Structure 1
C-alpha cells in the first residue's frame, strides 16, 4: 500500500457519519499523518464547530483535527499578518470551493498534504487544483465512490437524524439526544417515573448510580465516593445516550450528589460543582405527594422536605426549563409529555 506523508480529508462533517469515518480510516492506513479539515458556511443545525471538533476528537484522536469557522480563520490570518478571506457559501461553485481550500492550506494553515481522500466526484479536479497551488503532486485517492459500503449522506441524515441514527457512531449520536433529568427528595417516585417514560418513548433510562455505590460500600460513603458517583453517573449517562432513541431519561444527576456532599460532609468540591452544572433539555422535579417508603437506605421522612427545598432553590437559579410533576404516575407522564411537546 502506498504510504503518504500527509493525507487530507476535507468536508462539512455535519454530522460526522460512518461514510466519513470509512474515508478517514482508509487515509490513516495510507498516511503517516492525516489532516481532517472541516468547515461550513452557514453552520448547519446541530453541527457547530465545537461539536464537529469534539466528534472527531472522540472518534479519531490521532488525526490533525482542524474544524474552522470564519472567526477562527480570521484569528489565524491575524496571527500570520495575512489578509482574511471569508468562507464561500455551501452552495458556491466547485471552482470557488477549491480555490478557497488551496488558499487555506497555503496561507493561514501552511499545511501541504501529498494525498487527498474522498468519495465524491470533486476529488480529481480538487487534487489537481491543490497540486498546482502547493507546487507538488497531490494524489487523489478515491474511497467507496459508489457508496456501496456506506450508502448514506449527511443531507439524508440531517433530514431526520434519529431515523438514520444507525449511520452515526454512538459517540456522535449522543449529542443529538435530548436528556431529561428527574430530581426530587427521597421516595418521590423518580425511578418509577423514569422507567415509565422510557417505556412510553421506547428509549433508555439511566438508573441512579449513587444507590448502587451505597449498597456496595455497605452504607458507608466517604467524600471521595461522592466524587466518583458524580463522575460515573455522567459516564453512564453519556454511554446510554449513544444508544437511546431521541430522548434519554436520567434518574438524578450530579446535582443530587452535590446535595449529598453538603448534607453528609458540609462540602461542595469544585469538581462536583462542575459536574452539577450540566444542563438538560428538561428538568422534572418530582413532588413529595406520594407516601414515603422507607426501604432501609433512606433518611427519615422529614429529610425529603429539606431536599425538596434545596432542589427548588437550585432550579430557581438556573435558566433551563423545568416543571413540577405531581399526582399518579399516569398524571406525571402527561405532565412531562406536555412539557416535551413544547420543546419540539
Structure 2
C-alpha cells in the first residue's frame, strides 16, 4: 500500500493494549511515513499503569515514536514553558481533549499531523478540530469501527482479562499473570509441588534453572554462575508468563539463588541482592515436616532445617507475607488452592 501521509497519529488509552489496537496501528503504519502513538488515561485504570503501557508499546512497536503522558509529566513540561494545558480528565468535554492533542503535536512533536486513525465515531470531529488548530487539512481514516476483525474492547478486557487473554499479545498478558513462588530447603517437596500445582491450575511451571546448570556442569558452580542463574530464572518467568492461565508456578526465586551464593562464597553481587527482592504475588514456604530423602546430591537434614530458617527470616526481614505449607503433597496443593481462592 502506498504511504498516503507524511505523519499520522493514533491516540488511545491502550488500557490494556490489545490486538484490536495493534491491528489499527499496523493499518495506520502502512499508510504513513511516520506514525506517532499517544496515550493517556486520567484517571489511570487498574492494571494499566503508565509504565506498563509504555513497556507494551515499546515491546510491540519498537520502531514507532510512542508517548505515554501523565499529569505529572505534563506539569513538568508546563514548568519548563511548554505550551500545554493540564492533562484532561476523562469527564472533560471532547473539545478540551482534542485541544490537548493539538497542543501536544505543536509543542512536543513540533509539527502538525496529516491524519488521525481511529475505530471510533468521534474520529471526524477529532480530525476537524485538529485541522482548525493547524490551519491545514487533517484526514480521518476510520478503521473497522464495528470491531469485526478483532471483536474486543478495553472495557471488556479489564472486566475479564484472563477469560479474554487470546486478545492480548503475550508481552501484554504477562503483566496480568500472578506469580506463585515456592521456597523450601532441600528435600521439602518443592519441585513435585510445582508440577502438581501447575497441573491443578491448568497453567505453566517455571522449572529451577540453577539445578539444570548444576547438572550440566557436573555439580560445580562458580561465583559468576549464581548471578547468571538469577538472571536466567527471571527471564524464564517473563517468557513463560505470557503463555499461562492466570498463574505462573515458580519452582524457585532469586532468593534461593542468593542463599546459595552466600552459602558457597560468603558474598553476592548487588544485582543478585536486588533480584532477590523480586515481587511475587503469592509466596509459599514448604515445611521440612517429612523425612529427608538423600538423592546423592543433597547435603543433610541439618542443612535443610537451617535453609528453611534462613528463608523464613529473609521473608520476615523484607516484610513479605508468606504461607507455610505442611503435610502430604495433596494436602499442600489443597492449601495453596485455598489461599488462591481466598485472595
After TM superposition, the score normalised by the length of structure 2 is: 0.94
Aligned residue for 1:299? 299
Q: How many residues align?
A: 342
Tell whether the 8 Å contact from 2:131 to 2:137 is kept in structure 1 after alignment: yes
Match of 1:302, SS? Answer: helix
Aligned residue for 2:184? 184
CA distance in 2 between partners of 1:80 and 1:7 (Å) = 26
Match of 2:340, SS? Answer: helix
After TM superposition, the score normalised by the length of structure 1 is: 0.94
Moved more, 33-42 or 107-116: 107-116
Aligned residue for 2:277? 277
CA distance in 2 between partners of 1:312 and 1:61 (Å) = 42
Runs of at least 5 residues in structure 1 that lack an aligned partner in the other structure: none
Deviation at 1:155, TM superposition (A): 1.0
CA distance in 2 between partners of 1:152 and 1:108 (Å) = 32
Distance 1:99 1:82, change over 3 A: closer
Moved more, 75-84 or 193-202: 75-84
Deviation at 1:23, TM superposition (A): 1.5
Aligned residue for 1:25? 26
Tell whether the 8 Å contact from 1:73 to 1:108 is kept in structure 2 after alignment: no
Deviation at 1:290, TM superposition (A): 1.9
CA distance in 2 between partners of 1:237 and 1:193 (Å) = 17
Distance 1:246 1:83, change over 3 A: closer
CA distance in 2 between partners of 1:88 and 1:313 (Å) = 46
Tell whether the 8 Å contact from 1:283 to 1:322 is kept in structure 2 after alignment: yes
Aligned residue for 1:46? 47
Q: Deviations over 1:299-333 (max 9, x none)?
A: 23321122112111110022332111111122212
Aligned residue for 2:79? 78
Distance 1:10 1:81, change over 3 A: closer
Equivalent residues in 2 for 1:331-342, closer than 5 Å: 331-342=331-342
Tell whether the 8 Å contact from 2:287 to 2:326 is kept in structure 1 after alignment: yes
Aligned residue for 2:5? 4
Moved more, 46-55 or 332-341: 332-341
Find out whether 1:35 has 2:36 as its counterpart: yes
Match of 1:237, SS? Answer: helix
Tell whether the 8 Å contact from 1:88 to 1:100 is kept in structure 2 after alignment: no
Equivalent residues in 2 for 1:1-344, closer than 5 Å: 1-80=2-81, 82=83, 84-89=85-90, 91-107=91-107, 110-343=110-343
Deviation at 1:81, TM superposition (A): 5.3
Calculate the aligned-residue CA RMSD, in Å: 1.7
